[in-house]
């Protein structure tokens, strides 16, 4: 469902990913590995936020470089450091994502209530606490029921009740979905299948 061929990326001349190959089937994958080993960089490349120096990415049958818009409609992405337009509220963010991805912003509001966001949905994102903001972007990642979820340390900053909700959301994903979760949180690992980075799967 997710294929990388010869994926290569450098930061300032230093290879972070050097000819990576893997085929990852649907499932909920716990991407673990040492700090600085390139997990966030991999997720940024898969989300189309960074462009590889070489190699190809195919997501759910669509090549990311030849049809980026179609590929991105299949992806829900929680970045390590999510940013919104200044003054944008969670509701506005969810409406924008719903329009881009063909989802339901009202369903996102209902989802947000399960993360305890009732009091925050109309406040500017840049005035929210770190964890509250992360929850808003987490809700955005789920909009439109994407085939591929790319989540960068999704429990980072979340309170205990929200971690329970996140685990329930991950456990409830349909079997044909792929979630690739960069994660150092042992409790979240319990609902995920191990995937050690940089070892490829099915390469
Ligand atoms: N914007 C950047 N400019 C230059 N180098 C960067 C940049 N972002 C990351 N790096 C470097 O790329 C390498 C991989 O970083 P990355 O954030 O992908 O690692 P990670 O496995 O996600 O780490 P962690 O577990 O700490 O989140 C590191 O050596 C890091 O210093």
Tokens (6 digits) for 99: 């329009």
CA of 11 to the centre of ligand 1 (A): 9
Confidence (pLDDT) at 199? 58
Cross-strand partners of 30: 181, 194
Cβ(194) to ligand 1 under 6 A?
Answer: no
Cβ(89) to ligand 1 under 6 A?
Answer: no
Q: Which H, E and C letters describe 127-168, residue by residue? A: HCCHHHHHHHHHHHHHCCCCCEEEEECCCCCCCHHHHHHHHH
* Secondary structure class of 184 (helix, strand, coil): coil
In 3D space, the residue among 28, 18, 43, 22 whose CA is nearest the CA of residue 169 turns out to be 28
Q: How many CB atoms lie within 10 A of CB 37?
A: 16
Confidence (pLDDT) at 184? 93
CB proximity list for 144: less than 8 A, separation 6 or greater: 73, 76, 97, 98, 101, 102, 103, 104
Tokens (6 digits) for 172: 């409830």
| Architecture per CATH, 2-196 | 3-Layer(aba) Sandwich (3.40)
- Of 13, 35, 36, the residue with max ligand 1 atoms within 8 A of its CB, to mutate for a pocket test, comes to 36
In 3D space, the residue among 172, 173, 167 whose CA is nearest the CA of residue 154 turns out to be 167
Q: Which residue's CA lies nearest to atom 17 of ligand 1? A: 40
CA of 39 to the centre of ligand 1 (A): 8
Measured between alpha carbons, how far is residue 129 from residues 88, 124, 141 in Å?
Answer: 15, 11, 19
d(CA 50, CA 88): 24
In 3D space, the residue among 173, 191, 175 whose CA is nearest the CA of residue 183 turns out to be 191
Cβ(43) to ligand 1 under 6 A?
Answer: no
CB proximity list for 111: less than 8 A, separation 6 or greater: 139, 142
In this predicted complex, what is the ipTM? 0.97
Q: Which atom of ligand 1 is nearest to the CA of 44?
A: 18
Confidence (pLDDT) at 118? 96
CA of 54 to the centre of ligand 1 (A): 18
Q: Which residue's CA lies nearest to atom 3 of ligand 1? A: 11
Residue extents of the structural domains in the chain: 2-196
Query: What is the total residue count of the chain?
Result: 203
The pLDDT averaged over each successive group of 10 residues in the chain (203 residues) is 95 93 94 92 96 95 93 94 89 95 93 97 95 97 96 97 97 96 95 80 37
The continuous run of DSSP H or E covering 11 comes out as strand 2-11
CA of 118 to the centre of ligand 1 (A): 34
Confidence (pLDDT) at 4? 95
Q: What is the pTM of this model?
A: 0.95
Confidence (pLDDT) at 201? 40
Confidence (pLDDT) at 197? 76
């Amino acid at each position: 469902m997710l294929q990388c061929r010869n994926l290569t990326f450098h930061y300032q001349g230093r290879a972070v990913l050097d000819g990576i190959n893997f085929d990852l089937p649907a499932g909920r994958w716990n991407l673990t590995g040492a700090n600085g080993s390139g997990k966030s960089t991999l997720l940024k490349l898969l989300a189309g936020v960074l462009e590889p120096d070489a190699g190809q990415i195919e997501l759910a049958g669509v090549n990311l470089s030849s049809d980026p818009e179609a590929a991105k409609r299949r992806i829900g992405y929680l970045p390590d450091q999510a940013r919104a337009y200044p003054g944008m509220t969670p509701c506005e963010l969810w409406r924008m994502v719903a329009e881009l991805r063909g989802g339901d912003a009202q369903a996102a509001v209902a989802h947000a209530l399960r993360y305890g966001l009732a009091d925050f949905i109309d406040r500017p994102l840049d005035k929210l606490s770190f964890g509250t903001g992360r929850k808003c972007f987490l809700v955005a990642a789920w909009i439109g029921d994407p085939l591929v979820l790319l989540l960068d340390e999704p429990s980072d900053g979340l309170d205990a009740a929200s971690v329970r909700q996140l685990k329930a959301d991950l456990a409830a994903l349909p079997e044909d979905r792929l979630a690739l979760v960069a994660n150092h949180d042992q409790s979240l690992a319990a609902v995920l299948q191990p995937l050690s980075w940089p070892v490829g799967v099915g390469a």
